[in-house]
Structure 1
Amino acid sequence: MARLGELEHAIMDVLWSAPRPLTAREVRTAMPDRDLAATTILTVLSRLEAKGLVARDRSQRAHRYSAVDGRDAHVVELMRQALDTAPDSTAALARFAGSVSPSEAEALAEALGEAMLRRRKEGG
């Protein structure tokens, strides 16, 4: 998954925040600080759909768009890709752990503990 361009990210922010699928017009309305043509929004939504980030519901005249996964899933995928490019993933993880705030370190330690427990229960 490639990093998102600035406009792609802005549109994904709208979709991630939306309580329901949105039309392209609704996406455009949700970004009042930008003067974008409807065709521009549709083009970006099509590109995001091709990247597997957006689902399109074609059951109505005005198609509705929604994020395939949440923002957290996207961040996880980006982090996983970054880690996969490191020649020494252990060193990269250690350096990352040293760069987080104390509260983030606590959350990370808790998440790792829960993940380890889950894996033990699953036998893996």
Structure 2
Amino acid sequence: MNGQDVSGVGGERRPVGALEDEVLVLLQSGRGPLTPGEVLEKLGGTLAYSTVVTVLSRMHDKGLLSRAKQGRAYAYTPVADGHGLTARRMRQVLESDPDREAVLSRFVENLPPGDERLLRRLLGTDLPEGR
């Protein structure tokens, strides 16, 4: 993500993006919203509490998590499952270019035939013979 490292209490270092991924997997596999303390505990307690709060807050700011007040802290929930988050990222990339038609055209042109057939099926259109 931004290449910074996060140090745990034991001095271990990991890229910030890796920690976000780990937190996201943890939240997606959970049975409900988790507070920073619960996330810290499930991560093994090697990080500082403030690090977990910062990561969760940044993920919320990025639109990856929703949160609701639970006591004095927030409890966090992923806004979508893994596939939904991938689809959100794809949409964000598409929206970052002013020429949607060109981006979508290039995207479809570069799909393997099986993926193009799947996309056409999902969109309810038939694929011309030979592809």
TM-score class, shorter-chain normalisation, is 0.5 to 0.7
Cα 1:93/1:67, change in 2 over 3 Å: same
Deviation at 1:56, TM superposition (A): 1.7
Give the TM-score normalised by structure 1.
0.66
Say how many residue pairs are matched. 108
Please, which runs of 5 or more residues in structure 2 have no aligned partner?
A: 3-15, 126-131
Of 14, 22, 29, which residue of structure 1 is paired with 2:41? 29
Of 41, 54, 71, which residue of structure 2 is paired with 1:60? 71
Cα 1:13/1:83, change in 2 over 3 Å: same
Report if the CA contact (8 A) 1:83-1:92 is conserved: no
Deviation at 1:31, TM superposition (A): 2.1
Deviation at 1:5, TM superposition (A): 2.4
Of 12, 18, 27, which residue of structure 2 is paired with 1:6? 18
1:44-59 maps to which residues of 2 (within 5 A)? 44-59=55-70
Deviation at 1:110, TM superposition (A): 3.9
Greater RCO, CA 8 A, separation 6+: 1
Identity level (%): 29
Give the TM-score normalised by structure 2.
0.63
Please, which runs of 5 or more residues in structure 1 have no aligned partner?
A: 118-124
Larger helix fraction of residues? 1
